[in-house]
Structure 1
Amino acid sequence: MDPFGELFRGVRAHGSLFGRSTLTPPWSLLFVDGAPLTLCTVLTGSGWIVAEGRPPEHLGTGEVVLVRGPAPFSFVDEVGTAAEPVECGQDCAVPELGGTRYRLGWDDGPGAATGTTTLVTGAYPVRGEIGRRLLDALPDVVRVDAGGAAGPVRDLLAAEVAVDAPGQQVVLDRLLDWMLVCALREWFDRPGGRPPAWWAAHRDPVVGHALRLLHAEPAAPWTVSSLAARAGVSRATLAKRFTDLVGEPPLTYLTRWRMSLAADLLTGGGSPTIADVARAVGYSDPFGFSAAFKRVRGATPSDVRRTAGAS
């Protein structure tokens, strides 16, 4: 698996907030659930995303905004709206509808499309150390224009929101996962953008192949020579090219990735021993693993597990 795909292992939408022709001005929705990452997209109409410490972002039909948490943020009809804020989040359920569907100014009559806005949002818990690596690559607010690869996904979202069918929440969550991937691809590839090093590197035929090997087989006994042989280049070529594009040597990258995997194994439930975790990330000696873990993470594996258990 490539680094980008790997980062999504612990990132899944849960309890998407949605409605049909829902929002009739004035409105002010205050998202307070503190999700590490929230995706917002407008199917019809428009509004404003207002996040603390950031200039307001206008959100028109088909546009996508990603907001990093945990600070609250608002979706309003106009900046400075007179509407009373309505708190929304995982507890923002309307009992007669079930789930987390929310409605404000609900109108399915002939004039429903006039002056109304349909907002779809998905909250992302971003579990574990691996998921946090994705957050670290993002600013507080990411805005992606309408169209592009996310366009067909938006059409599917609109069709699903328009019906009331069994399993709808699951379908909406998965569609939002799809839209998140499309939105991040477009944002990383935007003209003049500054994507993380691993994003640019994965397109290089040599370094991209090496990265996929490291992620597919993190516990393998890699050396620069063995990795270069699998990538089809000399040791010196791989070492220089990898360092130039990724920003660190191949084995340094591998060690940091192994320690991220180990941190999630230590805190992700179950009861693997330190020796089990060491073997899972390529160390036959738990003492050598513990030393490497403390050098990279600044704490021992036991300390990390103890802290996670106390939280």
Structure 2
Amino acid sequence: MDVVSDAISAVRIGRPSSDRVRVGGRWCTRLAPYDGAGFHVVLEGSCWLLPDGGSPVVLGPGDAVLLPHGSGHVMADGPADAAAVERAVPFERLAAGAAARPQDGSGAVEVLCGKYRLDRSRVHPLMAELPEVVHLPNRAGTHPELRAAIGLLGRELDGRRPGACIAVPSLLDLLLVYMIRSWMDEGRTGAWPAVLGDPVAAAALRALHSDPAAPWTNQRLAAEAGVSRPTLARRFTALVGRPPMAYLTWWRLNLAATLLRDTGDPLSAVARRVGYGTSYALSHAFSREFGITPGRYRAQAAA
């Protein structure tokens, strides 16, 4: 696994959900804050996104927008004043009405709106530093993988093609990866695009995430990155915010939490998979990090 894949896998729960909405005329709808991440892809027409406490964003055909922290927001046919926002129709009602009365004509807007369920108790710093709104405009020559995924989604969304029930959730997962990757490629804000762009830090992280259970030492990791131990410690700590072995310990425990949540493996097997020699050693470290025993954590996650 690589850092981006691991950062997403650690927090993602279940399958994404989506609604394809086609509306026309004057409309304004509110999407409540959500314990996950929301997204919109404009398939046709244009509209406005008004984040709670943020600046309005104009969305055109092919534009994608990710709200990685589940912020509440309003979608509308155009600029909306405070009174219009106050009267905004809940999205669930708009979606039900739009499905019953599909809109035709040149003024129609078609948007794919969806959600990813996320476990926010153990968010990787890469995910945590994403801005409240990630706007990825449809500009020629930019983000070709994202554009291709949007095109494939548009063709699959009618649900009538063989295999669509598998293809659509898989494409939605792919869309999340491409939106995060596109944000990193633009590199406007955040430390993690710089982290993964640094050859030393990126090589060390790639090694740790590829085999977290290995008996890593600073010396072995420095050799993997092709630098001296002091150079690795200095560059890794400055960019990532913690020393290499401290990051490894943190990641091993987060990976253990994911395995406890998503599998029925006994604690001894989880310990071996994340680099702890005994169940006791893992339980002690886990309790110190999360303030809860692995067994109680697993029971709460299953509730």
The TM-score range, normalised by the shorter chain, is 0.7 to 0.9
AA aligned opposite 1:124: Y
Partner of 1:298: 291
2:148 maps to 1:144 = no
Q: Structure 2: any 5+ residue segments left out of the alignment? A: none
1:151-166 map, 5 Å: 151-161=147-157, 164-166=160-162
1:32-111 map, 5 Å: 32=32, 34-68=34-68, 70=70, 72-78=72-78, 79-80=80-81, 81=84, 85-88=89-92, 103=99, 105-107=101-103
Answer whether contact 2:17 2:116 (CA < 8 A) is retained.
no
Separation of aligned partners in 2, 1:69 and 1:203: 24
What per-residue deviation string (whole Å, max 9, x for no partner) do you get for residues 277-306 of structure 1? 222211113333233223333333344334
Separation of aligned partners in 1, 2:244 and 2:137: 35
Separation of aligned partners in 1, 2:278 and 2:36: 36
Separation of aligned partners in 2, 1:253 and 1:141: 27
Report the TM-score, using the length of structure 1 for normalisation.
Answer: 0.80
Shift of 1:105: 4.7
Shift of 1:13: 5.3
Partner of 2:183: 187
Separation of aligned partners in 2, 1:179 and 1:161: 14
Partner of 2:112: 120
1:180-219 map, 5 Å: 180-190=176-186, 193-197=188-192, 199-219=193-213
Separation of aligned partners in 2, 1:30 and 1:73: 6
Give the stretch that moved more between structures: 227-236 or 9-18.
9-18
Shift of 1:241: 2.2
Answer whether contact 2:218 2:229 (CA < 8 A) is retained.
yes
Q: Secondary structure at the residue paired with 2:50?
A: strand
Give the stretch that moved more between structures: 58-67 or 8-17.
8-17
Q: Secondary structure at the residue paired with 2:118?
A: coil
Partner of 1:97: none
Shift of 1:224: 0.7
Separation of aligned partners in 1, 2:35 and 2:19: 13
Give the stretch that moved more between structures: 9-18 or 224-233.
9-18
2:19 maps to 1:17 = yes
2:186 maps to 1:226 = no
What per-residue deviation string (whole Å, max 9, x for no partner) do you get for residues 154-196 of structure 1? 33333334684233343333333333222222222335x2224
Partner of 2:237: 243
Q: 1:135 to 1:116 in 2, by over 3 A?
A: same
Higher helix share: 2
Separation of aligned partners in 2, 1:161 and 1:266: 34
Answer whether contact 2:36 2:119 (CA < 8 A) is retained.
no
Name the Cα RMSD after superposition.
Answer: 3.1
Partner of 1:286: 279
AA aligned opposite 2:152: L
Separation of aligned partners in 2, 1:161 and 1:288: 48
Separation of aligned partners in 1, 2:213 and 2:121: 18
Shift of 1:143: 1.6
What per-residue deviation string (whole Å, max 9, x for no partner) do you get for residues 71-105 of structure 1? 5433221324598614329xx668xxxxxxx5265
Q: 1:155 to 1:170 in 2, by over 3 A?
A: same
AA aligned opposite 2:232: L
Separation of aligned partners in 2, 1:305 and 1:160: 37
Percent of matched pairs sharing the same residue:
34
Q: Structure 1: any 5+ residue segments left out of the alignment? A: 95-101
Figure out how many residues of one structure are paired with residues of the other and give that number.
293
AA aligned opposite 2:286: F
